[in-house]
């Protein structure tokens, strides 16, 4: 089978312009890597070609290299493209619209809540150590409410569900990391690893011409061969399309609005979340300033400086999202204060807000002959649980373990082998999709279902489930154990 973007499959130069290198030690302990050296050509077939150089793709390349496979990375440089992607007011991948996050002292308004298992993977790849530790915030507690807060004191009302890292016996529930910090660290680890890198996007994929390898044709006409092609190229995956793997993307009736704020009250390493008619609002901790009062040059009274910093993710109905994105930053801060009941005090914006559409993505299969999908190419979930990136890193870990555990001469692109990976990921991916999609629908009080004859039973179900979780330490510990895996 040959799939391509347009016209016949070109016979471009075989891996021209790739890099090969002498041996040197890299970031990952106990493994030898290559330093890139231009002007060489690869004569042999790669074990793996990873298409997609954002966080999940970069982690895939590193993990598979540690599994003893020869890796090529394919696609534009996501870390280097951050500045261009975040040009003010311009949409980027997946409809993301952002202001430039590169001014001194500014914060990336796209953040991830990384689980302990994701941190362990990044540490094993040498990437966690390469991140700026001063821009990472632990989450030791999480408090969730079923509706908007009524006032400053409501943040501590008994109806809140409280998750605690201490009660779960772990160091932290999660760590809040900026996309830019994460991607640059992974890219740095990959540079030390010395992968062959092709900056051009994938144009066509031949899975039938050579029984021993797939042939990739790039947008600039170059070609390369690999025994396994990993699609880590996002929700609109080109690899998935060319491999003939069916999938669907369904829009939620919401958009995500994100922004960063300084706060007058400390977050104390706690994340906050509210469900209600306004949508779903989450306040995620960011590393804070000193929190001390500074003397004013023009007055005897001290001038207070922020004692906290947070990032918000507001999954709002479309009309409300448009309204929020049109507000002046100070007015948006006032709206967040109102919905959160002033849980973090006075909020001062750090830069403008950004927004992107929310979708549910499903595929018929995670694998095909000589193809495996990871990350958003394999599944897209609602961000209400903050588990999208963690699911992707889970894919990376399981795929690497599967290929590392194969019999030595076995082809890494063999379909029966790849089915092991697919079976291992089926349960956690399905569970997270059902949980996030179910919660979104259950708490979408503006939906047709909630407004119809099932509105009252749904409200009763919401209340019953909420009280059960809020009053049961065992249930909360079980939920935490699932979330941090």
Select from 341, 413, 406, 395 the least CA-distant residue to 152: 341
* Beta strands at 23-25 and 90-91: parallel, antiparallel or unpaired: unpaired
pLDDT in tens, 33-62: 333 333 344 436 899 999 999 999 999 999
Give the pLDDT band (50/70/90) at residue 176.
Answer: very high
Number of alpha carbons in the 13 Å side-chain half-sphere of residue 45: 17
Residue-averaged pLDDT of the chain: 79
pLDDT of residue 460: 53
pLDDT in tens, 282-335: 999 999 754 333 333 443 444 445 679 999 999 999 999 999 999 999 999 999
Is-same-fold flag (2-83+182-250+360-437; 89-177+252-358)? no
**CATH number of the domain at 2-83+182-250+360-437, out of 3.30.365.10, 3.30.40.230, 3.50.50.60, 3.40.190.10?**
3.50.50.60
SS3 172: coil
Count Cβ atoms below 10 Å from residue 76 Cβ, excluding itself. Answer: 16
Alpha-carbon gap, residue 206 to 217, rounded angstroms: 8
Give the pLDDT band (50/70/90) at residue 82.
Answer: low
DSSP per-residue letters across 447-475: SHHHHSTTHHHHHHHHHHHHHHHHH-HHH
Tell me what percent of the residues of the chain surpass a pLDDT of 70.
70
pLDDT tops 70 at residue 66: yes
Domain ranges for the chain, please list them. 2-83+182-250+360-437, 89-177+252-358
Contact 367, 373 (CB under 8 A): yes
pLDDT of residue 481: 54
CATH number of the domain at 89-177+252-358, please? 3.30.9.10
Contact 249, 360 (CB under 8 A): yes
| Low-confidence winner among 106-110, 328-332, 344-348, 364-368 (lowest mean pLDDT) | 106-110
The larger pLDDT score, comparing residue 86 to residue 280, is at 280
Select from 118, 123, 124, 121 the least CA-distant residue to 133: 123
Choose the most confident range, by mean pLDDT, from 104-108, 144-148, 302-306, 362-366: 362-366
pLDDT of residue 78: 82
Number of alpha carbons in the 13 Å side-chain half-sphere of residue 2: 10
User: Nearest 5 degrees, angle CA 354-CA 356-CA 360?
Assistant: 155
pLDDT of residue 457: 57
C-alpha dist (Å) from residue 221 to 202, 210, 218, 475: 10, 19, 5, 55
SS3 327: coil
Choose the most confident range, by mean pLDDT, from 79-83, 140-144, 151-155, 199-203: 199-203
pLDDT tops 70 at residue 223: yes
Residues in the chain, overall count? 485
Taking the model in full, what pTM does it have? 0.81
| Low-confidence winner among 198-212, 218-232, 455-469 (lowest mean pLDDT) | 455-469
pLDDT in tens, 455-468: 555 555 555 555 55
Alpha-carbon gap, residue 99 to 274, rounded angstroms: 26
pLDDT in tens, 371-429: 999 999 999 998 877 889 999 999 999 999 999 988 877 899 999 999 999 999 999 99
pLDDT of residue 60: 98
What sign does the CA torsion over 16, 22, 28, 31 have? positive
Per 3-state DSSP, the chain is made up of helix, strand and coil in percentages (nearest 5) of: 35, 30, 40
In 157-278, at which residue ranges do the beta strands (DSSP E only) sit?
161-164, 174-178, 196-198, 202-210, 213-218, 223-231, 247-263, 270-276
């Amino acid at each position: 089978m040959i799939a391509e973007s347009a016209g016949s499959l070109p016979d471009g130069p075989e891996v021209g312009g790739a890099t090969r290198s002498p041996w040197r030690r890299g970031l990952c302990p106990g493994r030898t890597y290559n330093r890139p050296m231009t002007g060489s050509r690869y004569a042999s077939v790669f074990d793996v070609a990873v298409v997609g150089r954002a966080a999940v793709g970069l982690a895939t390349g590193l993990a598979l290299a540690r599994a003893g496979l020869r890796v090529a990375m394919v696609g534009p440089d996501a870390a280097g493209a951050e500045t261009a992607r975040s040009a003010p007011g311009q949409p980027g991948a997946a409809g993301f619209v952002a202001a430039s996050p590169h001014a001194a002292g500014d914060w990336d308004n796209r953040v991830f809540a990384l689980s302990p298992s994701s941190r362990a993977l990044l540490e094993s790849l040498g990437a966690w150590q390469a991140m700026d530790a001063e821009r990472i915030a632990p989450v030791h507690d999480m408090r969730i409410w079923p509706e908007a807060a009524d006032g400053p004191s409501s943040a501590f009302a008994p109806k809140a569900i409280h998750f605690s890292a201490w009660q779960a016996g772990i160091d932290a529930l999660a760590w809040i990391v900026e996309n830019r910090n994460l991607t640059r660290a992974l890219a740095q680890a990959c540079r030390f690893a010395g992968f062959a890198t092709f900056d051009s996007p994938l144009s066509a994929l031949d899975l039938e011409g050579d029984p021993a390898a797939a042939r990739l044709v790039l947008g600039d006409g170059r070609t390369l061969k690999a025994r396994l092609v990993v699609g880590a190229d996002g929700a609109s995956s080109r690899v998935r399309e060319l491999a003939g793997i069916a999938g669907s993307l369904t829009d939620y009736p919401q958009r995500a609005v994100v922004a960063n704020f300084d706060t007058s009250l400390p977050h104390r390493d706690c994340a906050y979340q509210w469900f209600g008619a306004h949508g779903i609002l989450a306040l995620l901790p960011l590393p804070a300033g000193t929190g001390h009062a500074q003397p004013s040059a023009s007055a005897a009274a001290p001038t207070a400086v922020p004692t906290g910093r947070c990032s918000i993710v507001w999954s709002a109905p479309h009309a409300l999202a448009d309204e929020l994105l049109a507000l002046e930053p100070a007015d948006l801060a006032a709206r967040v204060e109102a919905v959160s009941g002033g849980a973090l005090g006075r909020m001062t914006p750090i830069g403008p807000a950004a927004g992107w559409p929310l979708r549910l993505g499903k595929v018929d299969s995670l694998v095909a002959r000589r193809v495996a999908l990871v990350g958003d190419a394999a599944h897209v979930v609602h961000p209400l649980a903050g588990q999208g990136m963690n699911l992707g890193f889970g894919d990376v870990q399981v795929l690497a373990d599967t290929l590392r555990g194969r019999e030595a001469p076995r082809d890494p692109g063999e379909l029966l082998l790849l089915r092991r990976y697919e079976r291992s990921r089926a349960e956690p991916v399905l569970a997270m999709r059902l949980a996030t999609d179910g919660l979104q629908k259950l708490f979408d009080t503006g939906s047709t279902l909630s407004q119809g004859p099932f509105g009252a039973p749904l409200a009763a179900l919401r209340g019953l489930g909420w009280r059960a979780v809020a009053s049961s330490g065992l249930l909360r510990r079980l939920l935490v154990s699932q979330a941090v895996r």
